[in-house]
C-alpha cells in the first residue's frame, strides 16, 4: 500500500489529533501534503484549527477548574506565572490569540488563562480566531515549504533504504569493535 493512500484516508483525523496539544510540526506536514495534492488545503487548515481549538479549550477548562492546584506545583516559576497573569488581565485579547505563537506557552498558556478566570464568553471566540490564524499561517508555511521538500519526498523510500543500510553498517562496526575489545581483554587477563 502506498503511503499517500494512508495520508489521504487518515490525514485529516491525524491532523486533528496531532494538533490537540502541540501542532506546529504536524501542521507543517499537513501543508506539505496539501502541496503534494494528497490533502486539500482548506480542509487541512480546518482540521488543524479544530484540533488546536479543542486542545486549548480543554486546557482552559482544566485551568478554570484546577488552575490554582496545578500552578502551585510550579512555585519556583511563580514570578513568571504572576507576570503572565498580569499580562492576561491587561491585554486578554492579545494574550489569548498570541499564546499560540509564544514558545513554551502552547500548553501552559491556556491553563494560565483558565486559572485567571477570564470568562468563557471572551476566551471561546478568541480561541477560535487564534486557532484559525495559527492554522492558516503554519499550513501555508508547510505548503510553501513543500516546494523544497517535494523532490526529497518523492525519493523517500530510497532515502529510507540508504539510512537503514547506514545504521546497519554502523551497528556492525560498533559491534565488531566491542567484540574484538572484549576478546582481547580476555586474552590479556589469562
pLDDT per 10-residue tile (average), the chain, 190 residues: 69 87 81 88 94 93 88 81 86 89 80 90 94 93 81 64 79 86 72
Beta-carbon contacts of residue 150 (< 8 Å; ≥ 6 apart) = 32, 35, 36
Q: What is the pLDDT at residue 187?
A: 67
pLDDT at 54: 94
DSSP annotation of 152 reads H
Asked whether the beta carbons of 45 and 77 are under 8 A apart, the reply is: no
The answer to whether the CB of 22 falls within 8 A of the CB of 106 is yes
Cell numbers representing residue 30 in the block: 499537513
pTM listed for this prediction:
0.71
Amino acid 37: pLDDT: 87
- CA-angle at 20, arms to 18 and 23, nearest 5°: 55
pLDDT of residue 150: 66
Composition of the chain by helix, strand, coil, percent to 5: 85, 0, 15
Q: What pLDDT does residue 145 have? A: 84
Output the pLDDT for position 4.
Answer: 65
Amino acid at each position: 500500500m502506498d503511503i499517500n493512500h494512508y495520508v489521504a484516508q487518515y490525514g485529516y483525523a491525524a491532523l486533528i489529533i496531532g494538533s490537540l496539544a502541540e501542532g506546529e510540526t504536524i501542521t507543517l506536514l499537513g501543508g506539505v501534503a496539501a502541496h503534494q495534492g494528497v490533502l486539500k488545503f482548506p480542509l487541512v487548515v480546518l482540521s488543524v484549527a479544530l484540533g488546536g481549538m479543542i486542545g486549548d479549550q480543554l486546557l482552559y477548562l482544566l485551568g478554570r477548574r484546577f488552575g490554582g492546584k496545578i500552578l502551585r506545583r510550579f512555585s519556583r516559576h511563580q514570578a513568571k506565572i504572576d507576570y503572565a497573569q498580569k499580562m492576561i488581565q491587561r491585554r486578554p485579547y492579545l494574550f489569548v490569540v498570541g499564546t499560540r505563537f509564544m514558545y513554551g506557552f502552547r500548553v501552559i498558556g491556556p491553563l494560565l488563562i483558565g486559572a485567571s478566570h477570564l470568562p468563557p464568553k471572551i476566551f471561546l471566540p478568541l480561541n477560535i480566531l487564534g486557532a484559525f490564524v495559527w492554522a492558516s499561517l503554519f499550513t501555508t508555511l508547510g505548503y510553501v515549504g513543500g516546494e523544497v521538500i517535494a523532490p526529497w519526498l518523492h525519493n523517500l523510500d530510497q532515502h529510507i533504504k540508504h539510512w537503514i543500510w547506514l545504521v546497519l553498517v554502523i551497528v556492525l562496526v560498533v559491534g565488531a569493535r566491542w567484540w574484538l575489545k572484549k576478546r582481547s581483554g580476555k586474552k590479556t587477563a589469562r
